[in-house]
Chain A
Amino acid sequence: MSATDRSAPPTPGNRPNPARWLVVAVPYLWLFLLFLVPFVIVIKISLSLTAIAQPPYTPVFDLAGGIGGLIDGISEFTVENYLWLTEDALYARAYLSSLTIALVSTALVLLVGYPIAYGMARAPKGLQPTLLMLIILPFWTSFLIRVYAWIGILKKEGLLNQLLLWIGVISEPLTILNTNTAVYIGIVYSYLPFMVLPLYAALERMDRTLLEAAADLGCPPIRAFWKITFPLSLPGVIAGCFLVFIPVTGEFVIPDLLGGSDTLMIGKTLWAEFFANRDWPLASAVAVVLLVILVVPIVLFQNHEMKRAEREA
């Protein structure tokens, strides 16, 4: 904002007092205990062995045993789960296919979302809040239900095949459900608002006089788009791509409900190891490797968001 803000008198934020400490400490402690500590536990259990017991792994730390018990536990750690991940090609293929699906679907969401966001930002000012509302509303309705809605549309005797047969484009119903195509459709559909909203925010803020200047100087509209509009919308593009790419990599519901048995995604693998095979240590190892893969995009996303927050302040 303006320079006068910086010379403003001390506000509750800058004055030491107990309330201030409480404001920081409560959410900090909460996230520390319920977000950060669990990751340490996941790493610990990924180094344990499966056991037919409750909980189904060893070693279980005996806190009563003190330091000695801790050391005994640590000496039992094993990297066997990680070795297993490299030995069975299934896991490598699942990671690779997750990343491919995430990458391709991010590109698809961008391709579908950009024209929508662009059209919204250029719509009459009075109409824009309503359009924004219409984009957000499906996002509020259940993710599971929206994915479920596609089953009825995509299946063999579903509505899409009925429509296509009726028009006469096809003579035999297509198999779309339980293929990767269905997974892509489901991802584009579910994640579209995550892309449209940051894109719209960037495009709506844009200074339109720049385009007028370009047009006055004889720049054709398409070129003006690539030279001016697209570069200015890049923060929105980046934010949208992160918001789609990272969660899609670990997506479970969409590949499970719309994909087929040959749709390999790591979220599905982790779920199966945990719930079907009850192999908690292996599921933990799968999660740790997924986290290692995603840590770079997550940190980049955080930096991007922090810079944006600072720019706005």
Chain B
Amino acid sequence: MNSRTSWFNVTSVTLGLAFLYLPILLLIIYSFNESRLVTVWAGFSTKWYVELFSNKGLLDAAWVTLRVAFFSATVATVLGTLAAITLVRFGRFYGRTLFSGMIYAPLVMPDVIIGLSLLLLFVSVDFGRGFWTIVLAHITCSMCFVAVVVQSRLVAFDRSLEEAALDLGCPPVKTFFQITLPLIAPAVIAGWMLAFTLSLDDLVIASFTTGPGATTLPMKIYSQVRLGVTPEINAVSTIMIGLVSIGVITASLMTKRRQASRIRAERQAAANR
């Protein structure tokens, strides 16, 4: 590579990252602004955070959102992992095209269509709308994302370990829990985290499928944003960004460390032989 192309590469990556991070950074900085005017800097203050913790409506919405995200991510991870196994391991079976279609379509389907169609389903079967309808809706979308994440891991993994266990007479279900699941665990955890954040994030589907009494944080933020930008919203956003960043970075450091220790153990084993 000559130096001119690498100069180009460095510039494009730097500009790209600046573009991605500057708006978020500005949002965080202005959450510490003394002034109510979001764009005029009037000195450092944490008063918006203090105010936040006395805003009961916002706190309630945050609690609803976290519960929805927890339940939907957990069920979506189980269903999505099953779907991934079906896609990768079961070869051709009757209705496979329809099945993979139903996995890939929700990845790109506009939220307004998914939200509207699920709402109409809940109305026509007379299912009481509220907390649980949002959970059901989120499971349906998230499980497809989980399936794709787990699928890519299943495709890449060494099946000889599974085959060895089966040859030694280990029943298939036990083989799955003893061999397969530990090996695909990083992808399953990543899938759960993705499902969790997708649920935390969703405004459109939740707005359609909710009922009285179940207001999620994005719905609350959206209704306040429509009235104008406030430092309080900046403060909520900063907390959410902080939590998600800590979660994602911790998870990636943990997988990295586990990989490193595994490589070390393998080297040790090879040296002892």
Contact = CB atoms under 8 A, between A and B. Distances in A.
Given A13-B89, A140-B248, A141-B245, A34 B12 contact: no
A41 B252 CA distance: 42
Interface string A71-106: 000000000000000000000000000000000000
Interface size class of B (residues with CB under 8 A): 35 or more
Interface in A121-169: 122-123, 131, 133-138, 140-146, 148-153, 155, 157-159, 162
B191 interface: no
A13 B108 CA distance: 29
A290 B121 contact: no
Nearest to A157: B39
B39 A155 contact: yes
Contacts of B218: 142, 144
Nearest to A23: B82
Nearest to B9: A119
B50 interface: no
Residues of A contacting B: mostly: helix
B121 A41 contact: yes
B90 A20 contact: yes
A50 B111 CA distance: 23
Contact of A253 (B11, B88, B166, B204): B204
A313 B105 contact: no
Contacts of A39: 117
Interface stretch (B51-59, B181-189, B233-241, B261-269): B233-241
A138 B20 contact: yes
Contacts of A298: 104-105, 108-109
Q: Pick the most buried of B5, B16, B110, B118: most chain A CB atoms within 10 A of its CB.
A: B110
Interface in A226-277: 242-243, 246-247, 249-253, 257, 267, 270-271, 274-275
Interface of B: 1-2, 5-6, 8-13, 15-17, 19-21, 23-24, 26-27, 30, 38-39, 79-80, 82-83, 85-91, 93, 95, 99-114, 116-118, 120-121, 123-124, 136-137, 139-140, 143-144, 147, 151-152, 155-156, 159, 162-163, 166-167, 172-173, 175-176, 193-194, 197, 200-201, 203-204, 207-208, 218, 221-222, 225-226, 229, 233, 237, 240-241, 244-245, 248-249, 252
Given A24-B90, A275-B207, 9 more contacts: A27-B147, A34-B118, A38-B117, A116-B13, A142-B200, A145-B237, A270-B112, A280-B120, A306-B104
8 contacts: A27-B82, A28-B86, A116-B16, A119-B11, A138-B20, A141-B240, A257-B226, A298-B104
Interface of A: 5, 8-9, 11-15, 17, 19-20, 23-24, 26-28, 30-32, 34-39, 41-42, 45, 55, 61, 112-113, 115-116, 118-120, 122-123, 131, 133-138, 140-146, 148-153, 155, 157-159, 162, 189, 192-193, 196, 221, 242-243, 246-247, 249-253, 257, 267, 270-271, 274-275, 280, 283-284, 287, 290-291, 294, 298-299, 301-302, 305-306, 309, 312-313
